[in-house]
Each structure stands twice: as C-alpha cells, then as structure tokens.
Amino acid sequence: MNRPLKNYDIAELKRLDLAHHLPAQADYKLLEDIGGSRIITRAEGSTIYDGEGHSLLDGMAGLWCVNVGYGRDELARAAYEQMLELPYYNTFFKTVTPPPVRLATKIAQKMSVGNPDLQHVFFNSSGSEANDTVLRLVRYYWQLKGEPERNIIISRKNAYHGSTVAGMSLGGMSFMHAQGGPMVPGIEHVRQPYAFNEGFGQDPAAFAQVCVDDIEARILAVGPDKVAAFIGEPVQGAGGVIIPPEGYWPKVEALCRKYGILLICDEVICGFGRLGQWFGHQHYGIKPDVIAMAKGLSSGYLPISAVGVSSKIVEVLKTGGDFVHGYTYSGHPAAAAVALANIEILEREGLVERTRNDTGPYLAKALTRLNDHPLVGEARSLGLIGAVEIVSEKGTNHRFGGKEGTAGPLVRDLCIKNGLMVRGIRDSIVMCPPLIITHEEIDRIVDVIEQSLNEAEPKLR
Ligand code: PLP
C-alpha cells in the first residue's frame, strides 16, 4: 500500500513514553536506563519498521497474532464501514448487533469440525478475559449440575493463560504468581509435557505417560468429584513453544472422560491456522468441551476474543436463568466485523491449508539445518510455530552459566540487531511468523538465527 510516510519526532516520543506510559510486561527502570522502547511506526506484509529507519522481519506475528500479515486494506475497511453504520452497541439486556451473530456462526462452523457439539460462542476482548469467562463458566456449570464442590481446575506448570487475576492464576508461571497475589484459589498445577527439559532422552511415549500419570495422581489427590476441568494450550506458546509428545493429548482427553472432567483448550495462540488446522485441538484429534480463542481471530487488527462452548454445557446454562457475566465490549460490532473479514481472508487465501501442507513443513525442514550448530540442542516446530533450544554442550540440555535464561535474551537481541524480531524465552529462541510468510522469508529467519548464534558463541563461552 502506498501511504504517505508520517514523520515522527522519535526522540520526543521516547521521552514522553518514559514520562507517562507504562508498557506491558516491562522493567521500568531498565527501560529508563536504555533510553526507552523501540518505537514501531508502520508495517506491511511480514515486515515491521521502527522510527529510526530499521526494518525487521516479524518472526513473531506481533505477539503471536497477526496471522494474515500487516497492511490489509480489507480489514481497515470492515472496521470503517461498521463504525459508520453502528460503532457500538452491546449484547446485554436482550439486544445484539449483526456482526457478532455472523461471527459466532462462522466460528461454530470451524470449531465443530470433528466436534459437532461445539456450537456456541461467548465474546470478550482479550485472551485473558476469555479465560476469566472460562473459569466462571465451568464452575457455574457444575453448580447448576448440583455439584458445586467440583470447582478445582487442573492446569500445567509454565502454562500461560493471561495476565488478569484469573488468567495468571490459571497460568502456571511461578514468577507471575509471585507478584500481586493472592491468586484465585482452587487451581492446581501439574507437570508440563516439556520433553527437552523434563524428559530429556526419554522415549516420547513413556514421557507422555509420565505427564498423564501426574495429572491422574493430582485428580486422585484432590478427589475426582472435586475436579471441574483440565485446561491446556494444545502447544504451550509463551512457555517456550512446548510441543507435547505424541499420544499426550488423546491420553489427557481419555483421563478427563474417565473422571467426568471438562476438557478446556486454550487456543489463543493455536487457533486460526497456527498448527495447520483451524484449531490446535483438531491437529491432535481431541474434542474439548470449551475453547478460548483470541489473537488470530482478528489477526490483532482489533481486540476481540471468544469462548467456544459445547451444547452440553449450554443446555445446563439454560436451567439457571441469567448468566450474570459479560463485558461492555462483548460482541463489539466493529471488532466482530474485522474478525469476520479476517476469517474470510484466511479462507480465501487458503492460509490454514498452506500452513499445514507447505510453509509449516518448509519451516520444519529449514530448521533441521540448525541441528548441526554447536549451540543448538533441539530445533522443533509444528505448523508455523517453533523454537530453537540453546545449550552449552552439544548432545545435552545443559545451559550456559549453569542456569536457565542466559543465552535466550542474548541471541534474541542479536537477531533483532540482524533484522529479525523473535523472542528469547529462557534459553530458547521462539518464532511464530504471520501465516503469509514466504519460503524466502522462512530461509531468512533461519539464516539470521544461525548468524546470531555464531555471533553469540564467543560471548557465551
Ligand atoms: N492464553 C494464551 C495461550 C496466550 O498465549 C495468551 C497471550 O499470549 C493469553 C491467553 C492472554 O491473551 P491476552 O494477552 O489477549 O489477554
């Protein structure tokens, strides 16, 4: 798109940012020390540009979300036209607007593939809010069923389910639990299926069983009739792109069915094509009762999230009168119109199938090149999400400095210097590019990671 470039006074913006704006998940003192945040001013396709003349290939699709890439005129137009017709109305008090109805119908069509009971959608504005809805919804379901003591939710250590109080409590990140507690009670965290760190060298099927046994042991410890639900991301994203071993998800599903526990999939990252299916659980062939989705739902163009709910649950909700839960922006018409147009792009351009059959396998193959690198312990991916584990000793999972978190940030910073936006999570470099990424851009991602590892090696050794 040929839009005139705006001129920003970057030095002034940085000064004002430090003076007045508190950015997300930041060390405010450190930001001050380094002179403020990088100011991103525009983007096109899979490339972002900062105000100081740098361009970066966006290996993270923003924050795991810009699935259709940047600069989509069609999405801007969908928002504009909806805003002129009806910028806002709510879904409280027996009113609704057309876009959320159409969007819910479209989502139901996608999520019911292989799981015909998944037919209903509740809207929110963020992934965290979606998980707040999930928490209240499943506990309320069991109250209505006459089992109010079934209120324990089992989640995993190192899971990420958001930053609201419910989101961070459902999540399993101990450094988040340590700030601003107390957490929501009644949430238990079990072993994560992180084979490289916790099942190193083990047979994948045996490690899957170890993880599932840990869930079962916790169910038995708290009492099977006290457990409301199990929640998990099909692939843990913010935890470090943890792809569970073969067999893990079907075994977890079987365990939920054995004890009559609801199965919740947090599809906030995995939904809308990331793993090469519309939803991540479809890749694993399981049938959750509830799913949370956000990010790729609108490719981040406007904030919107949703909770997919099975008819089995909705039939029970119908016995309870008002479900007194909802947000001012639940079903926001402009956000819903954009999400609908975004799904139409994913469909029209075949981006989900392309991820499954073309770019996903291409990324997996390109990453195998890194397996020969002396600092790489493992390079893994599924669809268009992947991670490279950095180790101090080839053939082991030992980390530099004898502790986690030394190499990841260093290599990440080198990647950014070399023109690639990725994240460093502990000692891994993670990537999650837009689904429009080309083969050439995938090669560039791998080349820049390799170059950055080469530059990091003498600094680390
Ligand atoms: N759930 C998962 C799996 C996520 O990855 C995220 C965000 O990264 C969230 C929930 C929270 O979403 P939000 O940041 O939109 O609140």
For ligand 1, mutation pick of 270, 295, 329 (most atoms within 8 Å of CB): 295
Ligand 1 centre from 459 Cα, in Å? 33
Q: Distance between CA atoms of 266 and 288, rounded to whole angstroms?
A: 10
Determine the straight-line distance between the first and last CA of the chain, rounded to whole angstroms. 46
pLDDT band, residue 402 (cuts 50/70/90): confident
Q: At what angle do helices 333-348 and 73-85 cross, to 10 degrees?
A: 150
Residue 161 Cβ < 6 Å to ligand 1: yes
Residue 445 Cβ < 6 Å to ligand 1: no
Q: Distance between CA atoms of 59 and 445, rounded to whole angstroms?
A: 7
Q: Number of C-alpha atoms within 13 angstroms, CB side, residue 446?
A: 25
pLDDT band, residue 403 (cuts 50/70/90): confident
Q: Number of C-alpha atoms within 13 angstroms, CB side, residue 261?
A: 31
Residue 160 Cβ < 6 Å to ligand 1: yes
Q: Whose CA is nearest to atom 13 of ligand 1?
A: 127
Strands (E), 213-281: 227-232, 262-266
Sorted by sequence, the CB contacts under 8 Å of residue 133 that are 6+ apart come out as 122, 124, 292, 307, 325
Residue with tokens 């037919």: 119
Q: What is the pLDDT of residue 243?
A: 98
Q: Whose CA is nearest to atom 12 of ligand 1?
A: 127
Average pLDDT over residues 439-453: 98
Instruction: Give tens-digit pLDDT for 32-63.
Output: 999 999 999 999 999 999 999 999 999 999 99
Question: What is the number of the ligand 1 atom nearest to the C-alpha of 162?
Answer: 11
Instruction: Give tens-digit pLDDT for 334-384.
Output: 999 999 999 999 999 999 999 999 999 999 999 999 999 999 999 999 999
Question: What is the number of the ligand 1 atom nearest to the C-alpha of 294?
Answer: 15
Residue 126 Cβ < 6 Å to ligand 1: yes
Q: What is the pLDDT of residue 297?
A: 99
What region does 348 belong to: left with phi over 0, alpha with psi -120 to 50, or beta? alpha
pLDDT of 2 strictly over 70: no
Dig out the tokens for 400 from the structure. Answer: 């530099």
Residue with tokens 């910028």: 87
Query: Alpha helix (H) ranges present in 145-227?
Result: 165-170, 174-177, 195-198, 204-222
Ligand 1 centre from 294 Cα, in Å? 7
- Give 40's strand partners: 50
Say what the ipTM of the complex is.
Answer: 1.00
For ligand 1, mutation pick of 268, 275, 305 (most atoms within 8 Å of CB): 268
Average pLDDT over residues 389-408: 94
Instruction: Give tens-digit pLDDT for 182-220.
Output: 999 999 999 999 999 999 999 999 999 999 999 999 999
Residue 270 Cβ < 6 Å to ligand 1: no
Percent of the chain with pLDDT over 70: 100
Sorted by sequence, the CB contacts under 8 Å of residue 312 that are 6+ apart come out as 117, 289
pLDDT band, residue 274 (cuts 50/70/90): very high
Residue type, 238: A
Query: Distances in Å between the alpha carbon of 222 and those of 151, 173, 254, 262?
Result: 11, 21, 19, 16
Q: Distance between CA atoms of 427 and 410, rounded to whole angstroms?
A: 9
Residue 268 Cβ < 6 Å to ligand 1: yes
Residue pair 71/45 in contact by the 8 Å Cβ criterion:
yes
For ligand 1, mutation pick of 161, 235, 291, 297 (most atoms within 8 Å of CB): 161
Dig out the tokens for 127 from the structure. Answer: 């992934």
Q: H or E element: which one contains 383? A: none
Q: What is the pLDDT of residue 245?
A: 98
Residue 62 Cβ < 6 Å to ligand 1: no
Residue pair 3/13 in contact by the 8 Å Cβ criterion:
no
Q: Distance between CA atoms of 441 and 143, rounded to whole angstroms?
A: 51
Q: What is the pLDDT of residue 317?
A: 98
Ligand 1 centre from 268 Cα, in Å? 6
pLDDT band, residue 453 (cuts 50/70/90): very high
Average pLDDT over residues 403-429: 96
Instruction: Give tens-digit pLDDT for 313-322.
Output: 999 999 999 9
pLDDT of 4 strictly over 90: no
pLDDT band, residue 1 (cuts 50/70/90): low
Instruction: Give tens-digit pLDDT for 74-110.
Output: 999 999 999 999 999 999 999 999 999 999 999 999 9
pTM (two decimals)? 0.98
User: How many of the other CB atoms lie within 10 Å of CB of 353?
Assistant: 14
Omega prior to 185 cis, within 30 of 0? no
